[in-house]
Structure 1
Amino acid sequence: MKDVREEYHAEGLSEGHLHDNPVEQARRWVDEAIEAGFPLPNAMTLATVSADGQPSTRVVLLKGIEGGGFTFFTHYDSRKGEEIAANAKVSFTMFWQPFDRQMIVIGEASKVDEEESESYFASRPYASQISAAISPQSQPTSREWLEAEVEALQQQHPEAPVPRPANWGGYRITPTEIQFWHGRPSRLHDRFRYRKQADGSWVRERLAP
């Protein structure tokens, strides 16, 4: 691993390239990754912290940027859901290697309203609705049990919509800090940080790479 090297060749990132609102700048970068056809352009590595201070991470999918925040969906009684209930402070990272770009968001997560969760669940493919409805996410299980539960629920609901489980829904991460990183040759990267102020405005500053 010590010999693995990756040189970055991206053009420079200056303050003139950045939107005054970091949430809108984040939307630009996500949209550009989607338009470029990158695999899983909305994948984000989400970090949560347990009540006793143990961090954990996993990859989830960003499903919206609205209401001043970033939305994803999951089981509320999963490990991440239990940790958010104990400590709403979270962070996530998105990395788009072909663009030599990384974005880090720090903030707090809160549940979206029931109507929004219902609407998104109904928009999911039938098989995804089934899987979400039967899964005791993060709990020990067996493949045989999962497949048996899928078959049983498919018999009850042979077509969409499948009822949304009460323990499944969305979270919106409201940011207090957002960083934009742009890889540059010789590791002299461009890096900008926005920090939210008490009056709701944002302060932007360049950071050393």
Structure 2
Amino acid sequence: MDLSELRQEYTKAGLERATLALDPFKQFEIWFQQATSGQVLEPNAMQIATVSSTGRPSLRTVLLKTFDEQGFVFYTNYHSQKAQDIAQNPQVVLLFFWKELERQVEITGRAEKVSSLESLKYFTSRPRGSQLGAWVSAQSNIITSRSVLEIKLNEMKNKFKEGTIPLPDFWGGFRIVPDTFEFWQGRPNRLHDRFEYRMQQGQWDIQRLAP
């Protein structure tokens, strides 16, 4: 299949150094709010790339659940492939792609586990079905059929039919602590605007990158 004629011109906006916030977390917040108000489908969806102990890369989509100047937090099973990768190599990359705004944000940094208290606070805010799902799925493990999950779900419903559902000891959050940000705005003729924030000697240095 020849896809050479499949292309899209990006014309919605531009990006200038003078309009950027000095703090990349603030710039991300501005863009995130615009993505939310711009009817982007799941603006908190982000791709996270990890690398295994053998150097094999892996990429998947997760949901950002909170961010501040400490970093970007998502939750997962600590036995999952991504968690195993992070245990061996905590350096990761996040990518947000907001196609409706013709924008991307790439964030590189170090992943670290959040506290059990922080994980518990988020876990108890989830719908009961999602709480049960965390107990049911041995994430990334091979299963013979979907019925395995359905049987396990019924077991968990019976086990926790009364009272609150406890936080699994194998489930919790990771915080990505950034060292670089790149803000990408699509432009005509593939001459996109790209600005990188890089931590240098305790402060953020901002540079324009060639598209």
- Shorter-chain TM-score category? over 0.9
Tell me the alpha carbon deviations over residues 70-104 of structure 1, each in whole angstroms, 9 at most, x when there is no partner.
11000111000000000000001101011110000
Report the RMSD for the aligned CA atoms in angstroms: 1.2
**Structure 1 position 128, deviation (Å):** 0.7
Q: Which amino acid in the other structure matches residue 45 of structure 1?
A: Q
**Structure 1 position 159, deviation (Å):** 6.3
Matched ranges for 1:44-193 at <5 A: 44-141=46-143, 142-158=145-161, 161-193=164-196
Q: Which residue matches 1:3? A: 5
2:199 to 185, 188, 196: 196
Q: Which amino acid in the other structure matches residue 14 of structure 2?
A: G
Q: Which amino acid in the other structure matches residue 123 of structure 1?
A: S
Farther off after superposition, 86-95 or 24-33: 24-33
Flag the 1:195–1:160 CA change in 2: closer, same or farther, 3 A.
Answer: farther
Q: Distance in 2 between matches of 1:125 and 1:16?
A: 43
Q: Does the 8 A contact of 1:23 with 1:68 survive in 2?
A: no
Q: Does the 8 A contact of 1:126 with 1:160 survive in 2?
A: no
Question: How many residues end up aligned between the 2 structures?
Answer: 208
**Structure 1 position 150, deviation (Å):** 0.3
Q: Distance in 1 between matches of 2:47 and 2:75?
A: 14
SS in 2 for 1:146: helix
Q: Does the 8 A contact of 2:103 with 2:185 survive in 1?
A: yes
State the TM-score, normalized to the length of structure 1: 0.96
Unaligned ranges ≥5, structure 2 = none
Q: Does the 8 A contact of 1:91 with 1:105 survive in 2?
A: yes
> Among the aligned pairs, what percent are the same residue?
44
Unaligned ranges ≥5, structure 1 = none
Spell out structure 1 runs of 4+ moving beyond 6 A: none
Tell me the alpha carbon deviations over residues 132-153 of structure 1, each in whole angstroms, 9 at most, x when there is no partner.
1111000001211110000111
Q: Which amino acid in the other structure matches residue 96 of structure 1?
A: W
**Structure 1 position 67, deviation (Å):** 4.2
Q: Distance in 2 between matches of 1:71 and 1:104?
A: 15
Q: Does the 8 A contact of 2:9 with 2:189 survive in 1?
A: yes
Q: Which residue matches 1:36? A: 38
1:16 to 11, 15, 18: 18
State the TM-score, normalized to the length of structure 2: 0.95
Q: Distance in 2 between matches of 1:75 and 1:135?
A: 8
Q: Distance in 2 between matches of 1:136 and 1:21?
A: 39
